[in-house]
């Protein structure tokens, strides 16, 4: 077990394309770190640089306090689970798991046998030991790949989208299994995924990447409640955060549907910046008719016509289209492209109590919890309303994330030095392990 320190890591390809651009992450000993982002954001490249399958253009990769930039993968003593498992098809499950031990030449046959059986019983593979990978199901192959990783005492585990080839149910089970295993073994883990459920549930901290740049490194809760910028806000959460054109006047924010009052400190920071983008999560809306009238009175309400509604049993979603001014529209469709999506129209997604009897085409009174509203600068994408940055625990380590000029960032014309997390946290952020 070891800590992994990545210092200003850059990966540039021969054609000058920077897949990873100046990313620094400290992974504490025993910590579970997630690298997440849309496809092409450099998360897998980052992982492959840690393990040594990809050269590092510049920066320092430290594992256990030792610089490993020039070390071959086999000398780094890391265990990796590949996206497609990469099992050796000509070997039995037993030999697959024993493979790293046999290569190390440190163990005799009895020791190897004991270690393999230990790993296989942890992963419930005992009855499959003599089978070949071709005869196993997807979940079993996945477990064999994990077995091969846990059988030796590696310094850290690296996972490259290990669950993306499993079906939804199995994925849920394996996710819990990985979490349990990591807690039990207490081993430093770096986990790459594009699935935000995995990112939110597994990680002690999550690094959100976009186009090779780290946008935010924070605990899952912090990412959800205090996204550093438009990208993180749009990436984390499902259905995603709603983005609406907004202007601040006094304590009031003018939205396409009407004016709502926001807390004074938030308004203070966003005042006088012209047209902004307001971000409100779907669950911060509610059908006012099913709510406690006292509570409704505390927030703001507005009337809107529901285009389509989806009833899911435990909740329901309603879609409300709106018109956005061109500059916001352009920004939002760019964001959508960054998120691998395709926006067809600007619409508001609201999550309503399932008790609400709303029908398509009906008008309803919607409550919005304006306290939870975020305001973003449309040109830089920066979150203007993040509560005092000092209390955003866990994200201090992203302090070196500096965005280079002219890197084709979505938020055009922004000569920005990203301020995401230029702050010290009050110690104690080292994750519980």
Partner 1 sequence: MKRSSGVGIWVGFVAILVWCLLPVVWILSLSLKPVSETAAGSPQFLPKTWTMQNYKDILADGDFTRALINSFGISLIATLLSVIFATLAAYAIARLDFKGKRLVLSIALAIAMFPVVALVGPLFDLWRTVHLFNTWPGLIIPYMSFTLPLAIWTLSAFFREIPWELEQAAQVDGASPWQAFRKVIVPLAAPGVFTAAILTFFFAWNEFVLAISLTSTTASRTVPAQLSFFVGPDPFNPPFSQLATASVVVTIPVIIIVLLFQRKIVAGLTSGAVKG
Q: 428 burial class (0-12, 13-18, 19+ CB within 10 angstroms)?
A: exposed
Token digits for 350? Answer: 């609201």
Strand 363-368 with 285-287, pairing: antiparallel
- Count, residues near partner 1 per rule CB under 8 A: 32
| Nearest CA-CA partner of 208 in 188, 242, 236 | 236
Q: Is 169 in the site for partner 1 (CB under 8 A)?
A: no
Report the residue from 53, 252, 290, 349 that binds partner 1 according to the rule CB under 8 A: 53
Q: Is 132 in the site for partner 1 (CB under 8 A)?
A: yes
Q: 102 burial class (0-12, 13-18, 19+ CB within 10 angstroms)?
A: exposed
Block residue for tokens 């203007």:
384
- At closest approach, how far in Å is the CB of 119 from partner 1? 13
- At closest approach, how far in Å is the CB of 107 from partner 1? 12
How many angstroms separate the CA atoms of 384 and 244, rounded? Answer: 15
Q: Candidates 82-90, 260-268, 327-335, 421-429 — which segment interacts with partner 1 by CB under 8 A?
A: 82-90
Q: Candidates 88-96, 199-207, 209-217, 246-254 — which segment interacts with partner 1 by CB under 8 A?
A: 88-96
How many angstroms separate the CA atoms of 352 and 368, rounded? Answer: 11
Token digits for 183? Answer: 């807690």
Report the residue from 78, 267, 278, 306 that binds partner 1 according to the rule CB under 8 A: 78
Q: Is 87 in the site for partner 1 (CB under 8 A)?
A: yes
How many angstroms separate the CA atoms of 138 and 84, rounded? Answer: 10
CB 321 within 8 A of CB 307: yes
Q: Is 51 in the site for partner 1 (CB under 8 A)?
A: yes
Cross-strand bridge partners of residue 58:
10
Q: Is 123 in the site for partner 1 (CB under 8 A)?
A: no
How many angstroms separate the CA atoms of 60 and 345, rounded? Answer: 44
Q: Candidates 74-82, 184-192, 355-363, 364-372 — which segment interacts with partner 1 by CB under 8 A?
A: 74-82
- At closest approach, how far in Å is the CB of 17 from partner 1? 17
- At closest approach, how far in Å is the CB of 433 from partner 1? 23
Q: Candidates 87-95, 219-227, 295-303, 316-324 — which segment interacts with partner 1 by CB under 8 A?
A: 87-95
Q: Candidates 83-91, 175-183, 185-193, 285-293 — which segment interacts with partner 1 by CB under 8 A?
A: 83-91
Q: Which positions from 102 to 121 touch partner 1 by CB under 8 A, shown as an x/- string? A: -xx-----------------
Q: Is the dihedral of CA 383, 386, 389, 391 positive or negative?
A: negative
Cross-strand bridge partners of residue 259:
254
**Which residues contact partner 1 (rule: CB under 8 A)?**
51-53, 72-74, 77-80, 82-90, 99-100, 103-104, 132-136, 138, 141, 148, 165
């Amino acid at each position: 077990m070891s800590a992994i320190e990545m210092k200003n890591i850059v990966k540039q390809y021969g054609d000058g394309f920077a897949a990873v651009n100046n990313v620094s992450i400290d992974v504490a000993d025993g910590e579970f770190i997630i690298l997440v982002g849309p496809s092409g954001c450099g998360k897998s490249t980052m992982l492959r640089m840690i393990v040594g399958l990809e050269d590092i253009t510049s920066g320092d990769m430290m594992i256990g306090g030792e610089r490993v930039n020039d070390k071959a993968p086999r000398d780094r003593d890391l265990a990796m689970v590949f996206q497609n498992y990469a099992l050796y098809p000509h070997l039995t499950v037993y030999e697959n798991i024993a493979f790293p031990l046999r290569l190390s030449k440190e163990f005799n046959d009895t020791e190897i046998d004991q270690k393999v059986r230990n790993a296989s019983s942890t992963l419930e593979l005992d009855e499959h030991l003599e089978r070949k990978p071709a005869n196993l199901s997807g979940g079993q192959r996945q477990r064999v790949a994990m077995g091969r990783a846990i059988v030796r005492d590696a310094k850290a585990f690296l996972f490259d989208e290990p669950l993306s080839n499993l079906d939804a149910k199995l994925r849920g089970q394996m996710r819990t299994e990985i979490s349990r295993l990591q807690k039990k073994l207490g081993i430093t883990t770096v986990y790459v995924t594009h699935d935000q459920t995995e990112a939110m549930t597994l990680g002690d901290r999550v690094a959100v990447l976009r186009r090779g740049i780290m946008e935010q490194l924070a605990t899952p809760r912090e990412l959800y409640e205090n996204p550093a910028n438009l990208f993180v806000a749009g990436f984390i959460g499902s259905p995603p955060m709603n983005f609406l054109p907004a202007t601040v006047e006094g304590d009031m924010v003018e939205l396409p549907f009407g004016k709502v009052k926001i807390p004074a400190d938030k308004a203070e920071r966003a005042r006088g910046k012209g047209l902004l983008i307001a971000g409100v999560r779907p669950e911060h809306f509610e059908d006012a008719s099913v709510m406690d009238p006292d509570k409704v009175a505390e927030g703001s309400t507005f009337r809107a016509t529901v285009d389509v509604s989806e009833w899911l049993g435990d909740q329901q979603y309603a879609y409300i289209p709106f018109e956005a001014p061109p500059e916001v529209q352009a920004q939002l469709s760019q964001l959508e492209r960054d998120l691998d999506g395709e926006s067809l129209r600007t619409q508001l997604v609201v999550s309503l109590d399932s008790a609400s009897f709303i029908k398509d085409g009906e008008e309803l009174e919607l409550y919005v919890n304006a306290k939870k509203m975020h305001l973003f600068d449309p040109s830089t994408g920066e979150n203007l309303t993040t509560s005092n940055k000092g209390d955003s625990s866990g994200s201090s380590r992203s302090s070196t994330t500096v965005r280079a000029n002219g890197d084709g960032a979505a938020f055009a014309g922004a000569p920005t030095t990203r301020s995401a997390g230029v702050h010290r946290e009050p110690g104690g952020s080292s994750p519980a392990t």
